Structure 1
């Protein structure tokens, strides 16, 4: 089973002016597609060919760095597209309460996410994640992911 690039959950110009249609189309259609293509090539003809992406990530972690990077980046980008919305939005009442408990306010969370992203050296990901009912901000470097971790990612920011 080959993996396919998921469609964006919004029009390519829906995030303007924050992200231009050109940038979004390139990032999704070229950059993300390349990760998918390289992952598919690496698993073709192997026992991982029928696995879901999380299983490919878990099997490749520590044993096949190239495959791991491409599978993890494929998963991270698919998650990333769903971390944004054209009209933004607000957290549910339950999530808002957890944000207030962990960070003090939504504005404080935004400030901390931005600070972690700006402070992250080189490329990677900044995540709002939940573990054992508690929210935290996590960072992964380069192509690492929370997909096969004990954390439940809620949103992510691609850091370049």
Structure 2
């Protein structure tokens, strides 16, 4: 009887492991939040972070995994997918963008995020005239976007920085974007990103965003575009 129980347990364990491997065949992972839910308080509240990360981000990821399987995208990089976005159905654009954009967004925020590196600050000054002029242009893009979308800071093909205002889950890496570029900073201005705390005061959310920008990470992203 004991031997039979051991055999049954072993069989159950093997089936469980097979099922687990089947669920993890995707090349796209769900990244852990790089800080606690309340780490960005008081500027981004814990309730918003929990809802945003656990519900919205998870839904984008799950739906993208389905779209990736349907369109044979496993093994491709997000950059490769975005470079050919016009060839894929809208589900890949919406859910792939939502997955990538949010994963990127979590990375470029942190408590006490520091200051732009000297080389990035120099590029900002050269591209916009001054840091303050850049902030003004970025905030305008975030505040004047009608409906849902993102404000981006990206590096164009000539190495110059530019601000982009893109709808829904689009980003500058997509071939359908008005101007192509490599993103180094992003702000989510969908209402789910701020409404629990700020209600209709999007401008307050945008202003407070600078207090949680992880300039160390943004500077790293910029440095990579120079290679």
Is 2:181 aligned against 1:155? no
Q: 1:45 to 1:159 in 2, by over 3 A?
A: closer
- Answer whether contact 1:72 1:147 (CA < 8 A) is retained: no
Structural mapping, 1:69-84, within 5 Å: 69-84=94-109
Deviations 1:82-124 (A, max 9, x none): 1212112211101101111222322222222111111011111
- Answer whether contact 2:60 2:95 (CA < 8 A) is retained: yes
Q: Distance in 1 between matches of 2:74 and 2:141?
A: 36
Q: Distance in 2 between matches of 1:71 and 1:57?
A: 8
| Mean CA deviation greater in 40-49 or 67-76 | 40-49
Is 2:65 aligned against 1:40? yes
**Corresponding residue pairs, total:** 160
Deviations 1:110-147 (A, max 9, x none): 22211111101111111111111211101111111123
Counterpart in the other structure of 2:163:
137
Structural mapping, 1:117-136, within 5 Å: 117-131=142-156, 132-136=158-162
- Answer whether contact 1:129 1:138 (CA < 8 A) is retained: yes
- Answer whether contact 2:84 2:174 (CA < 8 A) is retained: no
Match of 1:113 among 121, 133, 138: 138
- Answer whether contact 2:149 2:169 (CA < 8 A) is retained: yes
Structure-2-length-normalised TM-score: 0.65
Deviations 1:43-95 (A, max 9, x none): 22652233233334444534300122101111111111112121122111011
- Answer whether contact 1:130 1:151 (CA < 8 A) is retained: yes
Counterpart in the other structure of 2:15:
none
- Looking at secondary structure, tell me which structure has more helix per residue: 2
Match of 2:77 among 24, 33, 52: 52
Counterpart in the other structure of 2:199:
none
| Mean CA deviation greater in 92-101 or 108-117 | 108-117
